[in-house]
Structure formats: structure tokens, C-alpha cells
Amino acid sequence: MSKKDLSINFCLISDIPLLQNFIKNEWKNNHIFVKSEALLSWQYRHDGKRLNIVNAYYKNNLVGFLGYIPSTKFDSSLENKNTLWLAMWKTSDQCKIVGLGLKMLKFLTDNIKHNAIAVNGINHKHDILYKALGYKVNNLKQFYCVNSFKLLKDIKSSPHYYHPKVNKTGSQWQKLGKKELLNIERSNLEYSSNYKSAIYLINRYLENPFYDYSIYKVTDNNFQNFAILVTRVDTYKETNILRIVDFFGNEKLLSKACFGLGQIMNETDSEYCDFWNYGINEKYIKKLGFKLVDFNNKETIIPSYFEPFESININLKFAYKLPKEENIKFIVCKGDGDQDRPNKIKIK
């Protein structure tokens, strides 16, 4: 193979139809990105010229692509704290170029400044690959609690199974709009190497055109420390489920957030609440009233997929790598990467 035959570059806006056709033929013909250019553009648009997608061409034919979601997409000032979340990564089944996927990854890491690189929801068969590349691989954990005032319709369990309920004590949650978020000092948000800012939270969640998110703050008695929680509601057959999709701040305050969570579950008429995360101390989550889902327990099902709905337990893996060894937490939530994107379009 001549080096001139292979070229790797960022995907241009004008190449979107070519990319959609590749996804249709090489991945899934009814993929949501084939159906909706609006969703594809919202998630991956970098500017008016290109997407946050790396394309590989062999003799001018598209043979692979690698999508990524940088922190800077939602706040351009995060360049020095930038995490690259790898998302879609596919090479053509007909392409026999050895190491093509890694060539695209190298192009990305060589050309985009970043502080960390990660992927949320990896194929379980790829553990060895990521570890060989120096990534740390682990399981995202699903915690849940039920609303004591609701009959359990979506959850499946044996009779008299003990489901965790929200503790009744604690603080209320303060709902935040754009103005309240912008009043939070940027320095107060630095709790993890997976760094986020007020601008990030606004653009990622409050400005999302496809999902309705709510952002809340929980504070201590002196109002000096706080925790930020991002939620949204999923619905199946008129039954609502509250999802905590992101968290930022002082994790100790979770143990004092019980009353507010119960209040929001009642306001949203939710059957249960779940919280996918890794890196937050479990003792604070359990004090909130949550219990860790046992993926091996076949009798108890806490559904996570709602588009379409599947009555199964799932196991999500993630991987991350810090360019420099840093003795700081790397907290991962469901909202990181592309794990909390629509599979059905319902523009709000």
C-alpha cells in the first residue's frame, strides 16, 4: 500500500452525506445518525467547516471514522482541561489496512490538545486492546432507589424483594438556571480531572435540543461547599424514571441530599431513580438511599434502556488515560461521552 493512497483528516461538513452512507452500509442501516443529520451535527459539529470526527480515506474512498466529544465543545476555555471522549469508532469490513483504527486515534491525539482521553461504553471484547494502549478499564456502576409511593411496574423482582428507598432526612435541592450557574465561581468546580464548568453544564445540558435536563445544587449548612447534580426523566408506558446523569462537586454532600431527591421523585412521579457513575465514594451514595445493582442477579431487573425499552440489566465498561500520572480522581457518569444521547428523535 502506498502512503499516498491513505489519507486521514477531520470530517468536513460537506462530507456528512458520505459519512451517513458509510454508517448505513458498514454499521447499521437504521442508525439514529443515518436518520437524523440534526442529531449528528449537534453532537459532533466543531465549527462551520468540520465535525469532531476523524475520517480515513483509501484511494479517496471512506474506509473508517472515529468520532470524539471534547470538553471544549461545550466550553472553549477548557482547552487546558480538555477530555477527549471517544465515541463512534468504525473501519470498513472490506478494508484490510492493518492498524487503521489506531492510525486514526494517533491523528486525533497528535492534533487535538487534551488533558485526558476516555471512552464510555466500550465493547467488552476490547478490554485487552485498551489496556495494551495504557488505558485504565473498569465497570460503570448502577445505583438505584425506588419511590415508596409508587407501584413498581418497570422493575422486575421476586416477591418481597427489598428495594432501597430514599432516606427521608437531609437537604432540599436548589434548581439552577443559566444565571445561577454562571454565578458559581469557576474555581469551585474543580473536583476531578474530568473537569466541567458552568458554561459546560449550560451548553451540554440546558441548551440540549433533544432532552430536557434539570440541574440542581446541594450545599452544606455554611453554603461553602456544594454538589451539582444533573437529571432527566425517561418514560415507558406512562411510567416515569428519574435518571441522575451527571455529578460534580463535593461528594460528601450526597449523604445530605436525601430529602431533596425524594421530593423530586414525587414531583416527577417517578417509579425509581438510577445513578450510573464511577469514582464517587459508595458510602455517600448509599447514605442517599441507593443500592448497587447486581448485574448477576437474574431475578431483579433495573432497566436502563428506554429507546427502545428493554427489561434487562446491562453492564457498562469505560476506559480512560491521563497523559501524565495524576493523583486525582477521574469521575465518570452516564452523561459523559455519548452514553446519554437519543436513539429516538423528540426535539423539545
Asked whether the predicted pLDDT for residue 297 surpasses 90, the reply is no
SS3 89: strand
Q: Tell me the average pLDDT across 126-142.
A: 92
pLDDT-wise least confident of 145-159, 188-202, 224-238:
188-202
Question: Cα–Cα distance between 16 and 29 in angstroms, integer?
Answer: 15
Q: What is the pLDDT of residue 281?
A: 93
Question: Cα–Cα distance between 221 and 224 in angstroms, integer?
Answer: 8
What is the DSSP code string of 221-279?
TTSS-EEEEEEEEEEETTEEEEEEEEEEE-GGGGGG-HHHHHHHHHHTTEEEEEEEEES
Residue of higher predicted confidence among 1 and 170: 170
Residue 347: pLDDT band with limits 50, 70, 90: low
Sign of CA dihedral 55, 59, 62, 66: negative
Asked whether the predicted pLDDT for residue 2 surpasses 60, the reply is no
Digit-coded pLDDT (tens) for 240-266? 999 999 998 888 889 888 889 999 999
CB 65 within 8 A of CB 53: yes
CB 88 within 8 A of CB 40: no
Residue of higher predicted confidence among 347 and 221: 221
Q: Which H or E run contains 42? A: helix 37-44
Q: What is the pLDDT of residue 263?
A: 93
Digit-coded pLDDT (tens) for 219-243? 877 667 788 999 999 999 999 999 9
pTM over 0.85: yes
Q: What is the pLDDT of residue 160?
A: 84
Asked whether the predicted pLDDT for residue 210 surpasses 80, the reply is yes
Q: What is the pLDDT of residue 244?
A: 98
Q: Report all structural domains of the chain as residue ranges with CATH numbers, in order of start.
A: 3-114 (3.40.630.30), 141-316 (3.40.630.30)
- The residues, any chain, with a CB within 8 Å of residue 230's CB and separated by 6 or more, are 201, 205, 213, 214, 215, 216, 244, 245, 246, 247, 335
Residue of higher predicted confidence among 188 and 145: 145
pLDDT-wise least confident of 54-63, 66-75, 181-190, 253-262:
181-190
Asked whether the predicted pLDDT for residue 26 surpasses 90, the reply is yes
Residue 189: pLDDT band with limits 50, 70, 90: low
Question: Cα–Cα distance between 90 and 55 in angstroms, integer?
Answer: 10
Q: What is the pLDDT of residue 303?
A: 95
Q: For the chain, give the mean pLDDT.
A: 90
Residue type, 235: T
* Peptide linkage before 308 cis (omega within 30 of 0): yes
Q: What is the pLDDT of residue 322?
A: 85
Residue of higher predicted confidence among 249 and 53: 53
Q: Tell me the average pLDDT across 35-58.
A: 96
Q: Which H or E run contains 129? A: helix 127-132
